[in-house]
Amino acid sequence: DAKTTQPPSMDCAEGRAANLPCNHSTISGNEYVYWYRQIHSQGPQYIIHGLKNNETNEMASLIITEDRKSSTLILPHATLRDTAVYYCIVRVVGGNKLVFGAGTILRVKS
Amino acid sequence: EPEVTQTPSHQVTQMGQEVILRCVPISNHLYFYWYRQILGQKVEFLVSFYNNEISEKSEIFDDQFSVERPDGSNFTLKIRSTKLEDSAMYFCASSEGLGVQPQHFGDGTRLSIL
């Protein structure tokens, strides 16, 4: 699975959009981008995934660049409860495991 | 919304004792996983399980570890003779399939080895 690079931490004001970047420059054609988050002392929570088209669900939007070498997770109106570690993970279709990195600590501040 | 449930939430065990961690995956899911997270470290894959067989395991998953689906709803992780370094959060996850379907995680069992 391709390696991902994320900033170690970010701050966001409550009510504003949080834009979390991820680089995955070695991604291959059969690898999807997944985003999870982990709120303190809870299990990882699935947010969204995509291959090459932008995706949106009730939690977030995922923007993947045309060359697929990077992506951005967007939380449109961040709340204090969105404070968590956010993980960008690349996984091959049919792959068993998720490989977690250190992620980005997002702090939403009032 | 259906969820993965894990019991107990916290398990304290003496070193050398056996421990069984229990998970109830989401009911229509066919693939099951265990991960662990040592305090302050990354979430690490341990094992995946499908059709009553291990489909992949990591180097961490040595002979002290075993998994079982004893009935139609439970999925267990057994550590035969616990060591101090087994202290960690253990997360169970499940997914519908191996395609693009995401894995959904439980809230974990905190295992403390004394």
B23-73 pLDDT tens trace: 999 999 999 999 999 999 999 999 999 999 999 999 999 999 999 998 878
Give the pLDDT of residue A2: 67
Q: Which residues of A touch B35 (CB under 8 A)?
A: 98, 100
Contacts 24+ apart (CB under 8 A), B40-49: B42/A100, B42/A101, B42/A102, B43/A38, B43/A44, B43/A87, B43/A98, B43/A100, B43/B91, B44/A100, B45/A96, B45/A97, B45/A98, B45/A99, B46/B77, B46/B90, B47/B77, B48/A96, B48/A97, B49/B75
CA nearest neighbour of A5 among A50, A74, A71: A71
Question: How far does the CA of residue B77 sit from the closest CA of chain A (Å)?
Answer: 17
Q: Which of B1, B9, B43, B95 to mutate to test the interface with A (most CBs of A within 10 A)?
A: B43
Point out the residue among B55, B107, B108 whose CB comes nearest to the CB of A96: B55
Give the pLDDT of residue A45: 97
Rounded average pLDDT per 10-residue block, chain A, 110 residues: 90 97 94 95 94 94 96 97 97 87 97
Give the pLDDT of residue B72: 79
In angstroms, what CA-CA distances link B84 with A74, B62, B88?
Answer: 40, 15, 10
Give the pLDDT of residue A1: 64
Q: How far is CA A43 from the centre of its chain?
A: 15
